[in-house]
Structure 1
Amino acid sequence: MLSEPTTGIVTDPAPRSLREAWVALAGLSAVFLFEMLDNSILNVALPTIGRELHASTTVLQWVTGAYAVVFGGLMLAFGALADRFGRRRIMLIGLVLLGVASLATAFVTTAEQLIAVRVAMGVAAAMTTPGSMALAFRLFADDGLRVRATTLISTVGLVGLAIGPTAGGFVLAIAPWQVLLLVNVPVAALAIIGVRFGIAADDPAGLHRDPVDVLGAVLGTATVVFALVAPTLFVNEGASAWAPWTATAAAVVAAVLFVVRERSVRYPLLDLKLVAHPLVSSGLAFKAAAGLATAGLGYLVTLQLQLDWGWPPALAAAGMLPQVVVLVAGGAFVSPFVRRVGLEHAAWISAAAVVAGLAVYGLFSRFGYPWVAIALVLVAAGMRVVGVVAGVNVLRGLPENRTTIGAALTDTATEVTSGAGIATTGTILAALFTGDIATTHWTVRQTAEFREAVTVAGLTLTIVAAALVAWGFVRSRRV
C-alpha cells in the first residue's frame, strides 16, 4: 500500500519513479528550457536587431537587461503569491503570458516595443521559473527522486543554454530574428500541457492564507532591481561615476527597509526566521558562491581569450567547451554522488570545488590555456552539483506552504551574486587597466596590467566565494 504524500500538492499517491511523472516533468523541463534558452539565443541576434531597428548600443543592452532586471526583481513577490494562491495557477498564468508576449514579437517595429516585450517575458519568467523547482520538489515524497527530478529539469535547461548561440546563428542565416523569440510559443504550449495535465491543482492544505505583504513585496523588488542595475552601471560607467554608487546606495537603503519591515510586520512576505534555518541559510550561501564564481569566471575568461591571447570569437567559444560539456554531461553523476555522500555533504563539497576552480584560475591562468580549462571544469562540476542539492536543501528546510518563495529566494541569490561577480571583475579591470580595453593592439604595459587585473580579480572572487562557502559549511553542521 502506497503512503499518502506529505507535500500537500496532490491527493493521489506520490510518484514512485520519474517515469510515472513524465508528463509533469516534461512541462517543468520546458519552463526551465525557456529561461536558459531565451537570453543565450537572443544575444546572437543583437547586431542584427540593432541594424534593423536602428537601436543604439545602450538600447540593445536593455533588450537583454530589461528582461533580467524584471525577472530577478519580481521572483520573490511571485513566489509569495504562488504559495498563497496556488503554484500551478500562477505557473499557468505566467506560461500564457509568455506565449502571448512571444507572439507579440512578430509585430515589433521599434526597439522600444521590443524592450516592452522583453519586460513582459521577464514577468512571465518570474511567475514560472521558481515554480518549476517548487513543483518538482513537491511532486515527490522522496529526497532521492527530488534530486533526480531537479537534475533532469536543469539538464534540459543547460542543453538549451549550450546550443542556444549555435542554433541562433543557424536560424539567423535562413530566417528573420523574430523567429528566435517566436520559438518560445511552442515551448510555452508544451509547458502548459505538461503542467495542466501532469500536476494536480494545489491542495488548500498546502497553501497558506496569510495576507499578502504588499509593502514588503515592493521593498524586496526594489532591493533586487537596484542590486541588479548597479553592477551594469559599474561596468559601463566606471567606479568614478555617480550613477552606480547611487544605485548601490538605493539597494542598501531598500534592503534595510525590507529587513525592518519583515521583522516587524505580522505577516511578512519572507519570514527571516525561516531564512536563518541552517539548511536554508547554508543552501543560499552555496548558491551565492556558485553564482558569483560562474559569472565572474565567464566574464574574465572571455576577455582573456579574445583580448589578451587574441583568439577569434569562434575559437574563444570553443575554449569554453570544457565548461559546457561538464554542465550538460555532469547531470548523470549528480544522483550517484549525492547517494554516496548525502545531501548536506554534497552541497559543501561541490561549493568547495567552485572555490578551488577560482583559485586555480587566479593563480595559474596566465601560464596557459590548460590551467584555464582546469578552472572551468572545476567550477562547472561544482556548480552542476550545488545547483541541484543546495536548492533541494533550501526547500527541505522550509515549511510546505513556503516552498515557492524558497525556490525564488535561491534563484534571486544566484541572480544578484552573478551581477556582483561581473561588477567586481569589471571594477578591478577598470581600476588597473589604463586606456581602452577594447583596442586592437595593447602595449606591453597594458598586457601586464590586464594580467595583473585578472589575477587580482580571480583571487578576490576566490576569497569572497570561500567566505560564503565557509559560512555555509558552519551553518550546515548545525543541521
Structure 2
Amino acid sequence: MSNQNELPNPTDDSRVSPDRHRPQTLRAAAVALAGLSAVFLFEMLDNSILNVALPTIGRELDASTTALQWVTGAYAVVFGGLMLLFSAIADRFGRRRVMLIGLSVLGLASLATALVTTTEQLIAVRVAMGIAAAMTTPGSMALAFRLFDDENLRVRAITLISTVGLVGLAIGPTVGGFILAVAPWQVLLLINVPIAVLAFVGIRIGIAQDLPAELHRDPLDIAGALLGTATIVLAIVAPTLFVGEGAGCWTPWAATGGAVIAAILFVVRERMARYPLLDLHLIALPLVSSGLAYKAASGLAISGLSYMVTLQLQFAWGWPPALAAIGMLPQVIVLLGGGRLVGPFVARFGMNRAAWMSAAAVVLGLAVFAAGSRFGYVWVALSLVLVAAGMRVVGVVAGTNVMRGLPKNRTTIGAALVDTSSQVATGVGIAVTGTILAALFTGTISAPAWSADQAAAFQTGVTVAGVTLTAAAAALVLVGIARSRPARDVL
C-alpha cells in the first residue's frame, strides 16, 4: 500500500487481541462462512428477485407508478442512509451482536409480507428490510476479514462470500419469474426467512463474540448520523415530489433545499467533530475515492437497467413473468460463468485499469439498452451481457481498491462505504428512472393494455431515462479514472 494512503489512527482496531484462535483453513470456518454468505445472498437476491414481480405487484395492489417505484426505492434509501450509522454502532457495541439483531429484524419483516394487502404496507415492510440490511451487510465483510489472520485466506473468504451473492443476483429474476408462474408474489419475500435463519445459526455458532479490545470507545456521532441520513432521504424524495405534486408546489422545493442544507451541515459537522461518523479524509484518498466512484457508477447503471428491462418485457411487450425470466438468462449465464475470467482479466490489465474498464462496460450496457431496446430483444440481450460482464469484475476490484487504499485498521468503515455508495446510487437510479417514466407516461402503467400513444410515451421515457443515467454514470467513471492516477497500479 502506498504511504500516501495511510493515516495515523490511535484509537481504531490496532488493539486487537492476538490471543484468540483463528481458523487456518476455509474448511475450518465453514459454519461461519455459510452464515456470512447467507447475509450477502439476502442482499443481492433481494435486489434482483423483486424486480420481476413489480408488474404483478402493481396490478394486484393497484399501485401507481410512484408507489411502485418506492416498493424498491424505500429499501435502497433506508439501506444506504443507515449503513454508516450501524457500522459505527457495530464497531462500538459488537459486530456480531448487531448482525444477529439485524437478522432477527429481517426474519420478522419477511414474515410480515404474508399479511400485506396494500402498497403502503409493502413499502413499510421494505423499510424494515432496509434497516435489517443496513445492520447486517457491512458486517458480513468486516467479520470475514477479522475471521482470519492470513491475508490470502481473507481474500479467498471475501471472494467466496461475494460469489454467493452474485449467484443470488444472477438467478433472482429467473427464479422469481418461475415462482410467480405457480405461486403468489409474497413468496418472493418469504424466501428471506430461511436465509435469515441460516445466517443467524451460522454466525451464532461459527463466530465468537467481539473482544473488548476489538471495539471502539469513541462517542457515537449522532448528529452526523442524522444529517447524513436526512441528506440521502431528501435527495431521493425530491424528484418524486416534483412529478407527483408539480414544480408549482412548495414541497418538492423544500425537499431539495433541505437536502442541500443537510449535506452542507453534514460536511461541516464531520470536519469539526472530534469523533466524526465518517472521516472525510478517508474518502479523499486516491484508491478510496476512485473505487467508490466506480461502485456508484455501476450501481446507478445496474439499478436503472434492471428496473427498465422488467417494465419493458412485461408491460411494453406483454411477456408473462416466466418468459421474462427466460429473457434475463444472458445476464445469468455471464454472471455464473464469468467468475474464472476475473483473475486473468485483472492480471492482464492491472487492478486500476480493470476497475475502470469493467465500470465502463456496465455503463455501455445501459447505453445500448437506451438506444436499441426499441428495436427488439437482441439489443436487450446485448445490454444484459455487457452489464453482467462489467459487474462481475467491478464488484471485486472496486471494493478491493477501497480496502487496499485504506489503513489496515479502517477496513470496517471501508466495507460500509462501498455498500453505501452502491446502495445510494441504486436508490438514485430507481428514483430518476421512475420519475422520468412517471412524467412522460400518461395513465396507469400497470394497466393490462396500453394505447399506441402510451406505448410510444413509455419508449420515449426509457430512452430519456437511459441516456440520463448513462451520462451520470459515465461522469462517475471519469472521476474514478482521474482519482486513481496518483495511486500505484499494484495487484
TM-score (norm 2): 0.81
1:408 aligns with 2:416: yes
Residue 38 (structure 2) pairs with residue 30 (structure 1): yes
Counterpart selection for 1:75 from 72, 75, 83? 83
Q: Is 2:162 aligned against 1:154?
A: yes
Counterpart in the other structure of 2:196: 188
Say if 1:110 and 1:294 are closer, same or farther in 2 by CA, change over 3 A: closer
Q: CA deviation at 1:105?
A: 5.6
Of 400, 403, 422, the residue aligned with 2:430 is 422
Aligned to 1:320: 328
SS in 1 for 2:391: helix
Instruction: Summarize deviations over 1:187-208 as a string: whole Å, max 9, x none.
Output: 2232123223333333444433
More divergent stretch after superposition (176-185 vs 222-231): 176-185
**How far did 1:234 drift?**
5.4
What is the one-letter code of the residue matched to 1:282?
S
Task: Please give the alpha-carbon distance, in whole angstroms, between the structure 2 residues aligned to 1:448 and 1:408.
Answer: 41
> What does residue range 124-135 of structure 1 map to in structure 2 within 5 Å?
124-135=132-143
What is the one-letter code of the residue matched to 1:85? F
Give yes or no for contact 1:279–1:475 (8 Å, CA) kept in 2: yes
Deviation per residue, 1:235-275 (Å, 9 max, x gap): 65677765444333322221111111001111100000111
Q: 1:93 aligns with which of 89, 101, 123?
A: 101
Instruction: Please tell me whether residue 398 in structure 1 is matched to residue 409 in structure 2.
Output: no
How big is each residue's C-alpha offset from its partner over 1:157-211, in whole Å with a ceiling of 9 and x where there is no partner?
A: 3333444455556667777776655543432232123223333333444433221
Residue pair 2:179, 2:188 contacting (<8 A) in 1 also: yes
Q: Residue 7 of structure 1: CA displacement?
A: 10
The residue that corresponds to 1:373 in the other structure is: 381
Distance 1:407 1:245, change over 3 A: farther
1:260 to 244, 262, 268: 268
Pair 1:201-2:241 in alignment = no
Structure 2 counterpart SS, 1:201: coil
Which of 459, 462, 471 in structure 1 is aligned with 2:470?
462
Contact 1:147 1:388 in 2 (8 A): no
| Aligned residue in 2 for 1:352 | 360
Q: Report the residue type matching 2:222 in the other structure.
A: V
How far did residue 441 of structure 1 move? Answer: 4.6
- Partner amino acid for 2:397? V
Aligned length in residues: 472
Q: Which residue of 1 aligns with 2:9?
A: none
Q: Offset at 1:129?
A: 0.9
Q: Distance in 1 between matches of 2:344 and 2:28?
A: 21
- 1:78 CA displacement: 0.2
Q: 2:85·2:225 contact (CA, 8 Å) conserved in 1?
A: yes
8 Å Cα contact 1:25/1:136 also seen in 2: yes
1:35–1:198 distance in 2 versus 1, CA, 3 Å? same
Cα shift readout 1:348-397 (whole Å, capped 9, x = no counterpart): 22112223323333444444432332222111211221122212222233
Moved more, 70-79 or 359-368: 359-368
The 1:9/1:314 distance shift into structure 2, 3 A limit, reads farther
Instruction: Determine the structure 2 residue equivalent to 1:294.
Output: 302
Contact 2:15 2:213 in 1 (8 A): no
Contact 1:212–1:267 under 8 Å retained in 2: yes
Residues 167, 15 of structure 1: alpha-carbon distance in 2 compared, 3 angstrom cutoff:
same
Alpha-carbon distance in structure 2 between the residues aligned to 1:38 and 1:218 = 26
Give the letter for the 2:363 counterpart: V
1:120 pairs with 2:136: no
Unaligned runs of 5+ in 2: 1-12
Q: CA deviation at 1:116?
A: 5.0
For 1:359, give the aligned amino acid: A
For 1:338, the equivalent position in structure 2 comes to 346
CA contact (8 A) 2:77 2:424 kept: no
Distance 1:340 1:32 in 2: 28
Q: Using a 3 Å threshold, how does the CA distance of structure 1 residues 423 and 336 change in structure 2: closer, same or farther?
A: same
CA contact 1:90–1:128 (8 Å) conserved in 2: yes
Where 1:210 maps in the other structure, the secondary structure is: coil
- RMSD of aligned Cα (Å): 3.8
Q: Deviations over 1:121-171 (max 9, x none)?
A: 332221101111222233345665545433322332333344445555666
Shift of 1:33: 1.9
Unaligned runs of 5+ in 1: none
Counterpart residue number, 2:8: none
Q: How many Å separate the matches in 1 of 2:427 and 2:253?
A: 15
* Alignment CA distance shift 1:302-1:174 (3 Å): closer
Instruction: Tell me the distance in 2 between the aligned counterparts of 1:239 and 1:310.
Output: 33
**What is the percentage of aligned positions where both structures have the same residue?**
72
TM-score calculated relative to the size of structure 1: 0.83
Bigger shift: residues 380-389 or 415-424: 415-424
Distance 1:65 1:420, change over 3 A: closer
CA distance in 2, matches of 1:307, 1:55: 14
The answer for the alignment partner of 1:478 in structure 2 is 486
Please report how far the alpha carbon of residue 281 of structure 1 lies from its aligned counterpart in structure 2 after TM superposition. Answer: 0.6
Quote how far apart the aligned CAs of 1:232 are: 4.5
Report the alpha carbon displacement of residue 218 of structure 1 after superposing the two structures with TM. 0.9
Given that residues 234 and 423 in structure 1 are in contact (C-alpha distance below 8 angstroms), is that contact kept between their aligned partners in structure 2?
no
